[in-house]
């Protein structure tokens, strides 16, 4: 067994909160407008792999109340208590948008979160 496999299994045992369901991701309408084709590409690959379900929203309360597992929104502001990944999304026309992926702490590091982060890194 490789070190990566050991780390991956350890992460799954400490962040198993999804328990086989898809990650519920909110995407701010502003991000859809600025980098829509990029978000659609992420959505297509993520839903093909059954990793995430998407909802267009920028309502932080949905994340905090457990209706979403993660929220992709424009950068800015402070987000205490949430796990934050930062990216620059570029669209096909060259438009760029600094974004943050806010994730509930118990889900950051789970398999679906890692796959989503990888996809976001691949398109930046």
100 by DSSP, 3-state: which? Answer: strand
The whole domain housing 87 covers 3-123
Catalogue the long-range contacts made by 5-11 (C-beta closer than 8 Å, 24 or more residues apart). Answer: 8/111, 11/109, 11/110, 11/111, 11/114
Residue, of 28 and 111, whose pLDDT is higher: 28
Share of the chain above pLDDT 90, in %: 23
Given this model, what pLDDT does residue 18 score?
63
98 by DSSP, 3-state: which? Answer: strand
Q: What is the CA radius of gyration of the chain?
A: 14
Q: What is the CATH number of the domain that holds 45?
A: 3.40.190.10
Structural domain total, the chain: 1
Given this model, what pLDDT does residue 9 score?
56
Residue, of 92 and 60, whose pLDDT is higher: 60
pLDDT in tens, 28-62: 988 887 777 777 776 676 555 566 788 889 999 99
**Cβ(23)–Cβ(53) below 8 Å:** yes
pTM across the whole model: 0.77
Cα–Cα–Cα angle for 21, 22, 26, nearest 5°?
Answer: 140
């Amino acid at each position: 067994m490789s070190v990566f496999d050991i780390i991956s299994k350890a992460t799954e045992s400490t962040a198993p909160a999804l328990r086989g369901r898809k990650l519920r991701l909110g995407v701010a309408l502003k991000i859809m407008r600025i980098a829509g084709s990029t978000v659609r590409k992420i959505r297509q690959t993520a839903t093909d792999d059954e990793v995430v379900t998407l909802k267009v929203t920028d309502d932080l309360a949905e994340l905090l109340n457990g209706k979403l597992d993660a929220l992709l929104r424009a950068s800015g502001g402070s987000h205490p208590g949430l796990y934050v990944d930062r990216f620059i999304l570029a669209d096909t026309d060259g438009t760029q948008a600094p974004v943050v992926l806010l994730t509930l702490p118990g889900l950051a590091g789970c398999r679906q979160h890692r796959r989503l982060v990888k996809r976001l890194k691949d398109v930046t």
